[in-house]
Structure 1
Amino acid sequence: MEKNNPSFPPIFDGQTLEGWHSVPRLPVPRAPGERGPDTTTEKYQQAAQTCGKWTVEDGAITGRQDPPGSGYGGYLLSDGVYGDFELIFEARPDWPADTGILVRASALGSQGFQILLDHRRSGNIGGIYGNGIGGFHGISFTLDATYDEHGYPVGLRLEDPSTTIEPLTPDKPALLKYAAGGEQFLSIWKWNDWNEFHIRVEGPSPRITVHINGMKISEMDTAVLKHPLYDATKVRELLGSKGHIAFEIHDNDPGMGAARWAPNAACRWRNIRISELS
């Protein structure tokens, strides 16, 4: 799509972070109504001290942990809030970098519908996750890297299920109304390059459709979604009819450590444009 299409005005000027603001990546209840995290712990207090490091480099929003390798993440939120829309942008993640794009996100950043960009072992790209709204995990494949003789990552491959750290159980693809296969995804993904995402969000409990580089990857109808911790009514009450766009820098955890976000890893986003549907 033409980058100067007037029906998709930019929400990032390519030079500054005007129109965006950062917030810490703080833990939230897994679903509305559940008990919240203990805010007195040292881990929570440390996480609250950083929003990640967000800069503009070569015309792209660039997110890193702050300080590098600290293990603490953050979110960058649009100042504007959006209800029904189509969002287009290009993303370029390092390996490993566990990130995502939240739509209808709350002011905390960590509550909303997340389009996955889990560019790391056992990750998925293009699936849909319920961040703080039930923890549902709509994916149809998991990924790993291929490595050269020096141990340097040089591309993506489908993960060997016998070595996964996040099993692809049958309930996960069942959450999706449409799911591309892993080989289909690999046929269009460009390693160490820019990949264009096109996300459509429509409805009070939204139907979300994700295209990457022109290929439909996933579709989910959250109005009829069945999951033990997801309640469409409670989620609508929590998020309202409009929310922020949020880019994520993931924190690290004892299970994955730097395999989730490498010490000097970054993810980059550019040419961010949105067309409101109503």
Structure 2
Amino acid sequence: MSREISLFDGHSLTGWFAAPRIYGSVYPGGPELLDLVPAMPREYNEQSAKHPAVWTVEDGAIVGRQDAAPPGWGGYLVSEQTFGSFELELEMKPDWPADTGVMIRRRRDSWEGLQVLVDHRQSGSIGGFYGNGIAGFHGVPFNIAARLDALGRPVGLVEDDPTTTLEPITAPKRAMLAQASAAAPFLESWRWRDWNTLRIRCEGTPPRVTTWVNDVLIAEIDTSAIDWPGYNPEAVWSLLGKRGHIALEVHDNDPGMGAARWGRDAACRWRNLRLQEL
């Protein structure tokens, strides 16, 4: 095993570059996502490029926010380096709501890649998977919601109510996971409004990817065996290749969920990003 690499020096964004949030084809050779979602403006990519996410370093952490003027658009912070098989560990501290994530094997200048979800919002998943531009598969073991105090203010996390969820946990979503945690161990480990540790192990091509949060195994997926409409492992991994970029996400406020995805003035913070190539 090679030596550990620090991806963040603690005081600058050296080794990273900002990229706008853009959409492309749903899967390699497939239709364009913007052609399939009438509520999304046709000029989405052009407008998004004008209002990229804002990335700063504050108190030894990378901080991602939406552009305040106007809010609602997202973006990525992308590693200059590419990586193949690795184990990545980092600390994260998202506000509520903040729909974010860590992309791996991402392409440099387009949206394709495998995302480890950090959807710290209603009906979100932390530690599950989403296929950006690689068929949009959604492999998650459970969903979360906010625990509210007597005044209706969020004060912690609970498991999402399946009768009112915005994103139901379906049989295909769980079936694609080689390992899947129940919600309880995750909820017991999660530190509200504090730092939490995410560990991602990515091995091989097509990769098998495993996630842990605060040392609780959350999910594992074998990307050679995904059964999902439009997903063709040969086409996907021919496109993504054996190495790709790592990226941190600030989500947009799409027409379906709006500010429930990313609250006004919300931020996500990342620190102590350490990677070991396998």
Calculate the TM-score normalised by the size of structure 2. Answer: 0.94
Runs of 4+ aligned structure 1 residues displaced above 4 Å come to none
**In 2 relative to 1, CA 40–212 (structure 1 residues): closer, same or farther, beyond 3 Å?**
closer
* 2:84 counterpart residue number: 83
Matches for 1:126-141 after TM superposition, within 5 Å: 126-141=127-142
CA distance in 2, matches of 1:232, 1:248: 24
Structure 1 stretch displaced more, 16-25 or 109-118: 109-118
CA distance in 1, matches of 2:26, 2:3: 36
Q: Is residue 115 from structure 1 mapped to residue 116 from structure 2 by the alignment?
A: yes
Equivalent residues of 1:69, 1:263 under 8 A apart: no
Of residues 9, 13, 35, the one that matches 1:13 is 9
Q: Is residue 124 from structure 1 mapped to residue 120 from structure 2 by the alignment?
A: no
Equivalent residues of 2:90, 2:198 under 8 A apart: yes
Matches for 1:144-183 after TM superposition, within 5 Å: 144-183=145-184
The AA in structure 1 aligned to 2:29 is G
* 1:61 counterpart residue number: 62
CA distance in 2, matches of 1:164, 1:25: 26
**In 2 relative to 1, CA 40–92 (structure 1 residues): closer, same or farther, beyond 3 Å?**
closer
CA distance in 2, matches of 1:85, 1:107: 18
* 2:18 counterpart residue number: 22
Counterpart secondary structure, 1:161: coil
Q: 1:7: Cα distance to partner?
A: 3.0
The AA in structure 2 aligned to 1:24 is P
1:174-221 deviation per Cα after TM superposition (whole angstroms, max 9, x unaligned):
110000001121111111111111111011100001111111111111
The AA in structure 1 aligned to 2:135 is G
Equivalent residues of 1:91, 1:197 under 8 A apart: yes
The AA in structure 2 aligned to 1:274 is L
The AA in structure 2 aligned to 1:14 is G
The AA in structure 2 aligned to 1:196 is T
Equivalent residues of 1:23, 1:109 under 8 A apart: no
**In 2 relative to 1, CA 68–152 (structure 1 residues): closer, same or farther, beyond 3 Å?**
farther
Equivalent residues of 2:196, 2:214 under 8 A apart: yes
Calculate the TM-score normalised by the size of structure 1. Answer: 0.94
Counterpart secondary structure, 2:191: coil
Equivalent residues of 1:69, 1:258 under 8 A apart: no
Structure 2: runs of 5+ lacking an equivalent: none
1:110-149 deviation per Cα after TM superposition (whole angstroms, max 9, x unaligned):
2111101000001010011111111111111111101122
* 1:41 counterpart residue number: 42
Q: 1:68: Cα distance to partner?
A: 6.0
Equivalent residues of 1:21, 1:78 under 8 A apart: yes
1:151-183 deviation per Cα after TM superposition (whole angstroms, max 9, x unaligned):
221000011111111111111111100000011
The AA in structure 2 aligned to 1:110 is W
* 1:3 counterpart residue number: none
RMSD: 1.6
CA distance in 1, matches of 2:70, 2:203: 37
1:244-270 deviation per Cα after TM superposition (whole angstroms, max 9, x unaligned):
000000001122110100010000100
Matches for 1:179-258 after TM superposition, within 5 Å: 179-258=180-259
Equivalent residues of 1:77, 1:109 under 8 A apart: no
The AA in structure 1 aligned to 2:19 is V
CA distance in 2, matches of 1:40, 1:160: 32
CA distance in 2, matches of 1:56, 1:128: 27
CA distance in 2, matches of 1:33, 1:222: 18
CA distance in 1, matches of 2:22, 2:234: 24
1:98-119 deviation per Cα after TM superposition (whole angstroms, max 9, x unaligned):
0110000011362111101000
CA distance in 1, matches of 2:134, 2:42: 23
